[in-house]
């Protein structure tokens, strides 16, 4: 579509607004992780749960729950100080797919504790899910 400059822009905005790429990434990751016998039925069931969750306001089926966040934090915090450095925190968010490429995080000089990490992960995940 050569003369579709505006249509391309429209399409990109659509992807951003509904966070389609994040949703597809999530679906592909769960699919490859659980490897069900019938991929289509499995995808349909996840999308159904998502749809119901959105309508009723019930908690979303997160990919990483509390224990995963704790173990990830402990993996990064090798010396068991109870805190991780800013660089680790930023890389961790990137690995989880919760950090946009252009986003710049503020380093406020304090080290990141488990609480802060967890609340940030939850906050970002919720922001993504609420766009669906």
Partner 1 sequence: MDATTAPHHIPPEMPQYGETYHVFELMQNMLEQLLIHQPKDPIPFMIKHLQQDNDNVPKIVILGPPASGKTTIAMWLCKHLSTNLLTMENLIAREFSSLAAVARDHYQNTKKLSSTLLVSLIQERLKEEDCVRRGWILDGIPETREQALMIQTLGITPRHVIVLSAPDTVLIERNLGKRIDPQTREIYHTTFDWPSESEIQNRLIVPEDISEMETARKLLEYHRNIIRILPAYPKILKVINADQPCVDVFYQALTYVQTSHRSNAPFTPRVLLCGPVGSGKSLQAALLAQKYGLVNVHCGQLLKEAVADESKLGKLIKPYFQKGMSVPDSIIMKVLSHRLSQQDSIQKGWVLHSFPRDLDQAHMLNSLGFQPNRVFFLNVPLDSVIERLTLRRIDPVTGERYHLMYKPPPTVEIQARLLQNPKDAEEQVKLKMELFYRSCSELEGLYAHAIALNADQDPYTVFEHIESGIVNPLPKKVP
Distance CA 97, CA 92 (A): 9
28 contacts partner 1 (rule: CB under 8 A):
yes
Helix (H) or strand (E) holding 81: none
Q: How far is the CB of 54 from partner 1 (least distance, A)?
A: 7
Q: What is the contact mask toward partner 1 in residues 34 to 73, using x (rule: CB under 8 A)? A: -x---xx--xx--xx-xx--x-------------------
Distance CA 82, CA 84 (A): 7
Six-digit token string for 12: 């990109």
DSSP, collapsed to helix, strand or coil, labels residue 63 as: coil
18 contacts partner 1 (rule: CB under 8 A):
yes
How many residues make contact with partner 1 (CB under 8 A)?
Answer: 27
- Which own/partner contact pairs does 29-35 have at CB distance under 8 Å and 24+ positions apart? 29/63, 30/63
Distance CA 117, CA 122 (A): 9
Q: How far is the CB of 22 from partner 1 (least distance, A)?
A: 12
Q: Closer to partner 1 at the Cβ: 83 or 92?
A: 92
Contact residues: partner 1, CB under 8 A: 1, 10-11, 14-15, 18, 20, 23-24, 27-28, 31-33, 35, 39-40, 43-44, 47-48, 50-51, 54, 91, 95, 132
């Amino acid at each position: 579509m050569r003369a579709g400059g505006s249509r391309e822009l429209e399409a990109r905005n659509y992807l951003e607004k509904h966070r389609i790429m994040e949703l597809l990434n999530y679906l592909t990751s769960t699919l490859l992780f659980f490897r069900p016998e019938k991929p289509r039925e499995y995808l349909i069931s996840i999308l159904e749960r998502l749809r119901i969750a959105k309508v009723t306001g019930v908690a979303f089926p997160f990919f990483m729950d509390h224990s995963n966040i704790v173990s990830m934090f402990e993996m990064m915090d090798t010396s068991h100080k109870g805190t991780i450095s800013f660089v680790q925190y930023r890389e961790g968010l990137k690995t989880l797919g919760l950090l946009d490429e252009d986003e710049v995080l503020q380093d406020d000089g304090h080290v990141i504790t488990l609480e802060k990490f967890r609340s940030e992960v939850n906050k970002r995940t919720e922001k993504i899910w609420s766009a669906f």
